[in-house]
Amino acid sequence: MLQNTGSLAGRTLFVTGASRGIGRAIALKAARDGANVVVAAKTAEAHPKLPGTIYTAAKDIEDAGGKALACVVDVRDEQQIRAAVEQAVEKFGGIDILVNNASAINLTGTLGTSMKKVDLMMGVNLRGTYLTSKLCIPHLLKSSNPHILNLSPPLNLNPIWFKNHTAYTMAKYGMSMCVLGMAEEFRGQISVNALWPKTAIQTAAMDMLGGAGIERQCRKADIMADAAYAVFSRPLAGPKNTTGHFLIDEDVLREAGINDMEIYAVEPGHPLLPDFFLDVESDATSSAPPSSTSAGTATCDPIEETFGLIRTVLSQDLVQSTKGVYQFDLSGEHPGSWFVDLKQGAGLAGPGLPPIPPDVVMSMDSSLFSRMFRGEVKPTMAFMTGKLRIKGDMTLALKLEKMMAAMPKSKL
């Protein structure tokens, strides 16, 4: 992991959503340098399902060597943010770094998303990020090396990242657009960047969305904390352009000299789930560093490519209409087991066995699998001709055709 160097000693971080997850991990990493951290989050009392409060996070920060200020903050509330900023300046003398981490997520389609949920996501993700930045910037401008870091994705306009959760994508991209605009507005004065994970990160939100067993396919929040630390250590007036970037955690760490990403895996060696908004790459589900012997000669695995596209159509709506777990045992040129979980959260898909027992096991040649998902062969026809063997709930096997119909065929 990235070693602490003391570069954040005495500096003040204002971190939204810092009571748990990635926000807390970033706060603790800074605390080990002796930084001051403002824990700006909503949770003042223990939640029955979610771990941590602003007070437990503050204690952990102080135990790690930092100083903490716990503030009850709903980023939709201007007065609460303003009060927290004023308290931070009064206690620590200023603000050097703002981390816009607070976020709300709801992965449903247009007809299935209530306006209450839309307002929540827009209010927390877009408006909350803009407002918190606006109130912190006057103080950041007084810092010798100020940073704003939004935990938001690159602005990928591929329609597959909109079609199943348009409201969430708009709200999350709003955070990224703040980076685009503020980086240029305050160029030379404040470094403004976005940071996004290449793979799924184990957090309470991921556990709820993904269901049982999802943590095995995730990395720990430490990878985002280390990447954020590396970003904060970059000087504003250094030799490189340090603002206006949409950074990926793994890329930042490789640049910092960390090449072994296995150390961040919850279960080392287990295939990993790519995160949202990043188009499929051939090594997207591997936690190991790229092989030097295969550099420049890697070939695209059609099964992995297909599953990459399957992940883009997963949604809570599809889960609700299917309620089944599929296991695919493939033979032939690309042998192996893969799964699609349409029973938990917003759905999962990837290599290996499913996290819970499958309802349907489908055995076939890997070439038939690819043809099925290209729409060239229907599962029912493949079954009737004996090329597809199905064990389990036949009605769920037929429901699989609904997911196939939603696949972006032009890219298969």
Q: How many CB atoms lie within 10 A of CB 212?
A: 13
- Sheet containing 324-331: which strands, arranged edge to edge? 348-351, 336-342, 324-331, 360-365, 389-392
**Structure-token pair, residue 171:** 């709200």
Which pair of structure tokens corresponds to residue 265?
């895996």
Tokens 């040129």 belong to residue: 333
The sign one gets for the Cα dihedral 342, 345, 351, 355 is: negative
What's the CA gap between 401 and 384, in Å, rounded?
15
Tell me which of 130, 168, 229, 326 is the catalytic residue: 168
CA separation for the pair 283, 390 (Å, rounded): 30
Q: Active site includes 168? A: yes
Amino acid found at 178: C
**What is the three-class DSSP state of 376?**
coil
Structure tokens at 49: 């399902």
- Three-class SS of residue 85? helix
Q: Within 10 A of 110 (CB to CB), how many other CB atoms are there?
A: 12
CB of 274 closer than 8 Å to CB of 308 = yes
Q: What whole-number distance in Å separates Cα of residue 227 and Cα of residue 74? A: 26
Q: With 0-12 CB in 10 A as exposed, 13-18 as middle and 19+ as buried, what is 159?
A: exposed
Instruction: Write out the H or E segment, with its range, that includes residue 98.
Output: strand 97-100
Distance CA 80, CA 72 (A): 7
348-351 vs 336-342, strand pairing mode: antiparallel
- Sign of the C-alpha dihedral, residues 364, 366, 371, 372? positive
Q: Structure tokens of 406?
A: 């939603």
User: What is the Cα–Cα distance from 254 to 231, expressed in whole angstroms?
Assistant: 12
Active-site positions read 168
